[in-house]
């Protein structure tokens, strides 16, 4: 299974079968920490008692303390405490406004000026510009300072990990960043602040100053391929880590979520921290459910 395979072409079914095959093979391994039942793309984990939850929390802290090469995968849930809504949750952007998903589809964006105008207005009004890193972001920055965090793969485009103190060399922004703008026709690349200023001066669909091409935030939209180098780096990190920490993600979006079964197959422990169930709870060694801003800092190892 390779992360370089994407889910936006005719190979989708074959890749899905590869993931399902891997999940089913893992379901029969001796490393399951809880009894699970595996269905296609959904895994049902029995409700934990308070005693079990406390024990899992204690084990998670010990495993993180013992780990030497940690990979973290973060999703929208780690940024909700910073005031940035997720996409698929009860108050998610796409849950409340299904049409908003079109703003993240490259076909609609390139073909329809009205979609671009709405997308640019959404960028101008985005809560990202006022957001500050939360306790979860700072916890991962601390994990890097302790010398344990090898790679931080984030599905988020908000740049809050770097603001919290994580090194840009450690962070892989698998879905791009909203803090840059690129031209879809040439190599023009600029800070988002430059284009936001143009919007404030009255432009509603700003074009490239070099070639008059269509401008777009440097994010990966539906229908766009992910950056091959980012995919290769993420897969390599997952294969080499001894613990993978999945935080704030439903683990339903591929290929990003693929790093979890890849790490598991390579022998790493898996700890999932999220507000609700994820699609990969059943292959985790520990699942912690609750407020990320409370749970993640609570399992950090102490400085030696």
- Residues labelled catalytic: 175
Place of tokens 């339903």: 252
DSSP string, 261-277: HHHHHTT-EEEEEESS-
- The Cα–Cα gap between 246 and 248 comes to 7
What CA–CA distance (Å, rounded) separates 108 from 100?
Answer: 11
Judge if the upstream peptide bond of residue 255 is cis by omega within 30 degrees of 0: yes
Residues pairing with 245 in the sheet: 72, 271
Q: How far apart are the first and last CA of the chain?
A: 38
Provide the β-strand partners of residue 37.
44
Residue 235 and residue 72: Cα distance in Å, rounded? 12
Using only C-alpha atoms, what is the Rg of the chain? 20
CA dist 23 and 114 (Å) reads 42
- Alpha-carbon distance of 201 to 192, in angstroms, equals 15
212 φψ region: left (φ > 0), alpha (ψ -120 to 50), beta (else): left
Residue with tokens 């909700």: 80
As a whole number of angstroms, the distance between CA 115 and CA 100 comes to: 9
- For residue 49, the Cα-to-chain-centroid distance in whole angstroms is 29
């Amino acid at each position: 299974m390779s992360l370089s395979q994407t889910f936006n072409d005719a190979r989708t079914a074959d890749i899905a079968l590869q993931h399902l095959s891997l999940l089913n093979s893992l379901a029969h391994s001796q490393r399951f920490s809880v009894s699970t039942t595996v269905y296609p793309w959904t895994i049902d984990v029995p409700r934990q008692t308070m005693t079990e939850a406390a024990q899992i929390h204690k084990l998670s802290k010990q495993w993180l303390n013992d780990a030497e090469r940690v990979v973290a995968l973060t999703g929208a849930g780690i940024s909700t405490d910073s005031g940035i809504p997720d996409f698929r949750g009860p108050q998610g952007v796409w849950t409340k406004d299904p049409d908003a998903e079109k703003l993240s589809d490259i076909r609609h964006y390139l073909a329809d000026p009205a979609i671009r105008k709405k997308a640019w207005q959404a960028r101008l009004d985005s809560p990202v510009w006022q957001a500050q890193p939360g306790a979860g972001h700072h916890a991962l920055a601390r994990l890097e300072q302790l010398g344990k965090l090898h790679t931080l793969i984030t599905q988020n485009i908000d740049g809050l990990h770097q603001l919290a103190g994580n090194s840009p060399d450690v962070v892989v922004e698998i879905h791009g960043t909203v803090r840059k703008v690129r031209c879809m026709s040439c190599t023009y690349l600029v800070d988002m602040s430059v284009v936001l200023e143009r919007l404030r001066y009255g432009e509603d669909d700003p074009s490239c100053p070099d070639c008059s091409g269509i401008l777009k935030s440097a994010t990966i939209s539906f229908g766009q391929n992910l950056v091959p180098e980012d995919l290769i780096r993420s897969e390599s990190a997952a294969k080499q880590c001894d613990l993978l920490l999945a935080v704030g993600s439903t683990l339903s979006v591929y290929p990003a979520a693929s790093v979890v079964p890849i790490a598991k197959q390579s022998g790493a422990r898996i700890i999932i921290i999220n507000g609700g169930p994820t699609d990969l709870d059943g292959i985790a060694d520990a699942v912690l459910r609750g407020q990320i801003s409370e749970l993640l800092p609570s399992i950090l190892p102490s400085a030696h």
